Amino acid sequence: MEPLLSVRNLTKRFGGLVAVNQVSMDVHPGEVVGLVGDNGAGKSTLIKMISGVYQPNEGEIYFDGKLAHIANPSQARDMGIETIYQDLALAGNLDMSANIFLGRERKKRYLGGLIRVLDEKFMLQEAQKLLQSLDVHIPSATAKIDYLSGGQRQAVAIARALYWEARLMIMDEPTNNLGVIEQAKVLDLIRRLRDQGVPVIVISHTIRDIFAVSDRIVVLHRGRKVADKRTQDTSTEEIIQYIMGARDDYHRN
């Protein structure tokens, strides 16, 4: 099967620091890829290049078999790449529906589209429906995000990514801040997406979760890819060795 996403030799430097170093990887439809690595390994930087936040210094991104120049996040979203960021990227002064629809607000048109007014009612209803379907409880739909708990915010970030029928879902530590039950729900969600054919890249430090949902595991170490293995062909111990830098499948002399 053709990969939906294919990145080739991506490199990202911040000044003298090489955050991501010549990383290549593929993501196929209906596949969950676990992306792991120590703090600062370059996981977030890698996915931010895919979601258009950063521009790679070197390398290419192919989406749907075609070379893609993802100049900004809104291009990525237009291509169907939805991302839940590690820092959630929510506007704390806005409520949940404003955040879910941020950048893609639903508008009512008057005078042939000359005047466009936010359709607050529609957006609020959709947001409520969505959270309900995710079984998330937020006591006030119109409270600012700042006033929500960490888990509730996480839920809003997840809901936002889900609402827009993604073709590729990227989740950077989505189970952060969540209680045990909610963590299980998120893993469930990932499986549901996969069953619908939507591939997911999931980043997590909880190796158990990665083994529970992923089909393949990619390990980064100091910006380099050191392992790319089918989940069923490896073990927790082995992955931890890769993470710590004790093993390296791609070492070049």
Partner 1 sequence: MVSEAQAPSLPATSKRRTTGQQAILLGSKIWSWLFLLMLVFYFSWQGTGFFSLRNSQNILVAIVPIVLMGLGQTFVIIAGGIDLSVGWLMGLSSVISALVIREEYNAGVAPWLAIIQGLLAGVGVALAAGLINGVIVAKLRVPPFIVTLGVSFVARGIGFLLAKGNIIAGQPQLARDLGNESLLYYVRGEGGGWYFLKKPDVTGAQLRMMDRVFTWPVVITFIVVLVAIFILHKTQFGRHTYAIGGNREAALRAGVPVDRHVILLYMMSAGTAGLAGVMHAWRFSGGAADAGDALLMMSIAAVVIGGVSLFGGQGRVIGTVIGALILAVLQTGLIMINVKTFYQYVIVGIIVILAVLMDQARDLIVGRAEAAA
- Residues lying near ligand ATP in the complex (CB under 6 A) are found at 14, 17, 19, 37, 39-45, 86
**Minimum distance between the CB of residue 90 and partner 1, rounded to whole angstroms?**
6
Name the residue among 54, 56, 52 with its Cα closest to residue 72: 52
Among 20, 23, 33, 44, binds Mg ion (CB under 5 A): 44
Quote the CA–CA distance of 163 and 126 in Å, as a whole number: 9
Contact status, residue 26 vs residue 192, Cβ threshold 8 Å? no
x/- binding map, residues 50-89, to Mg ion, per CB under 5 A? ------------------------------------x---
Q: Closest CB to Mg ion among 95 and 172?
A: 172
Q: Is residue 71 involved in binding partner 1 (CB under 8 A)?
A: no
Q: Contact 177/154 with Cβ under 8 angstroms?
A: yes
Q: Does 206 bind Mg ion (CB under 5 A)?
A: no
Check: CB of residue 168 under 8 Å from CB of residue 6: no
The answer to whether residue 74 forms part of the interface with partner 1 (CB under 8 A) is yes
x-or-dash string of contact with Mg ion, 82-121, rule CB under 5 A: ----x-----------------------------------
In the bound complex, what is the minimum distance in angstroms from residue 188's beta carbon to Mg ion? 23
Q: Kindly state the smallest distance separating residue 44's Cβ from ligand ATP, in Å.
A: 3
Count CB-CB contacts under 10 A for residue 247: 16
Rule CB under 8 A: choose which of 9, 17, 55, 104 binds partner 1. Answer: 104
Bin 240: left if φ > 0, else alpha if -120 < ψ < 50, else beta.
Answer: alpha
86: which DSSP letter?
Answer: T
Question: What are the tokens at 181?
Answer: 């039950």
